[in-house]
Structure 1
Amino acid sequence: MRVAGILLVEDDPSVRTGLELALTRQGHSVTAYATGEEALDHVRARRPEIVILDVMLPGIDGVEVCRRIRRLDSLPIILLTARGDDLDMVVGLEAGADDYVVKPVEPRVLDARIRAVLRRLESASADRISFGDLVVDRGALKVTLANREIHLTPTELRLLLELVRHPGQVLNRRYLLRAVWDHNHVADSRLVDACVQRIRAKIEPVPAEPVFIHTVRGFGYRFSPP
């Protein structure tokens, strides 16, 4: 079983201690903090493999922590959100989070999400495909646009790779949730939408008028390079 170096950021002492103990029992190495400031210092000093980040934090909130981490690194981020806080969750995904889990969370569910993210990091086949100025190197896990490297998070890269594997085909959100996030709940489709928006902002000349990733209203997305 894969052991992950986890940075856990949760201000509630009982929740933080419970998750830290549970994830440690699952074999992970966990460093836990109560504030966003401490978490950012840790990311700068010692890069974790994955961040588990509560949205509601004192001082710098989780969404802002997510944004600041994204300026530093593309490491995976899973949000912990309170039930019913849909707006915070959507804003967090748009800020660059890869996944979210609603509290109270079963440690086994969180562990499964962590391992799914790590599998996404490790799964890629050796392949280099060009679509005009856009080059997707599956072996090197590298994307370039007009010879400039595009920095994608692991989830953004996995979603783009999945779309690239099926050029011209419409992939519905349920399929993409299973293929990229290992989710089965259609209610989580906002993960797909937010991730597509982030990818478009990085690879599309005009994100509002995409030429690579097209929305097929009522169905999903199609990768149709010019």
Structure 2
Amino acid sequence: MATILVVDDDASIREFVSLFLQQEFFLVKEASDGQEALEIAEEHEIDLAIIDIMLPKVDGWELCKEFRKLYDFPILMLTAKGETVQKIKGFNLGADDYMVKPFEPLELLVRLKALLRRYQINQSQTVQIGEFWMDKNTFKVALEKNSYDLPLKEFNLLYKLAEAPGRTFTREQLIDSIWGIHFSGNDRTLDVHINRLRERFKEQTYFQIKTIRGLGYRLEVLK
């Protein structure tokens, strides 16, 4: 049974989310501020954190950054701040998903379960989507009965997207992860690699790499 940490200074929101998740057989820990959330995470094994941005003591931005430094569980930001610039900041700090209040409880549940599944995939060195398969240890790529030899940067880029299907990665995150923070090229390099991957796998029906305007890219499962 997964343990979910709900961090919000609004007691009614915490109670509503907690009761809903408990009905779905999750264990729930609650924190009313960022400092309390850090203390709970230190004392208990947390599988996923749902955090607001406007928190006392340690705000959601700083909390997300600290969680990402210390732990490997997924983070879902649930906040009233819905501007694109706020979402980009959240993703850059390490959030895995971002929902804007008011929200639909069933959508929250679907996203939460998707993050938990994604996290389990991330613990291994292989990803599989239908008959598409990648092995990070051997750099092998297989699609149905065919194998592919990808250039290293293309492999790492596709693996990064495929290990977290449905997650939006900002352009900055992808460039830093694949080319390094000291990369001196331009954004066009990322676009070229994305287009090459799309061309290589344009005939398959298991996934697509989608452009998220103003943010970056994500890989979506088709079936």
Q: Please give the TM-score of this superposition, normalised by the length of structure 2.
A: 0.65
Give, in angstroms, the shift of residue 128 of structure 1.
3.2
Q: Does 1:34 align with 2:32?
A: yes
Aligned AA (1:100): Y
Identity over aligned residues, as a percent?
Answer: 32
Equivalent-residue separation in structure 2 for 1:23 and 1:159 (angstroms): 34
Give, in angstroms, the shift of residue 198 of structure 1.
2.2
Give, in angstroms, the shift of residue 89 of structure 1.
2.5
Equivalent-residue separation in structure 2 for 1:164 and 1:22 (angstroms): 30
**TM-superposition CA deviations, 1:92-133 (whole Å, max 9, x none):** 111000001111112111110011111212343485347xxx
Give, in angstroms, the shift of residue 210 of structure 1.
7.4
Aligned AA (2:9): D
Give, in angstroms, the shift of residue 88 of structure 1.
2.6
Please give the secondary structure, in 2, of the residue aligned with 1:101: strand
Equivalent-residue separation in structure 1 for 2:21 and 2:31 (angstroms): 15
Aligned AA (1:209): G
Change (3 A) 1:208 1:52: farther
Q: Equivalent residue for 1:169?
A: none
Q: Equivalent residue for 1:197?
A: 172
Give, in angstroms, the shift of residue 80 of structure 1.
0.8
Aligned AA (2:172): Q
Contact 1:79 1:101 in 2 (8 A): yes
Equivalent-residue separation in structure 2 for 1:29 and 1:92 (angstroms): 25
Q: After TM superposition, where is structure 1 displaced by more than 4 Å over at least 4 residues in a row? A: 135-138, 162-165, 220-224
Please give the secondary structure, in 2, of the residue aligned with 1:57: coil
Gaps of 5+ in 2: 122-126, 142-155, 199-223
Q: Equivalent residue for 1:168?
A: none
Q: Equivalent residue for 2:144?
A: none
Equivalent-residue separation in structure 1 for 2:140 and 2:67 (angstroms): 25
Contact 1:200 1:210 in 2 (8 A): no
Equivalent-residue separation in structure 2 for 1:55 and 1:20 (angstroms): 18
Q: Equivalent residue for 1:148?
A: none
Q: Equivalent residue for 1:6?
A: 4
Equivalent-residue separation in structure 2 for 1:19 and 1:60 (angstroms): 21
**RMSD of equivalent CA atoms:** 3.3
Q: Please give the TM-score of this superposition, normalised by the length of structure 1.
A: 0.64
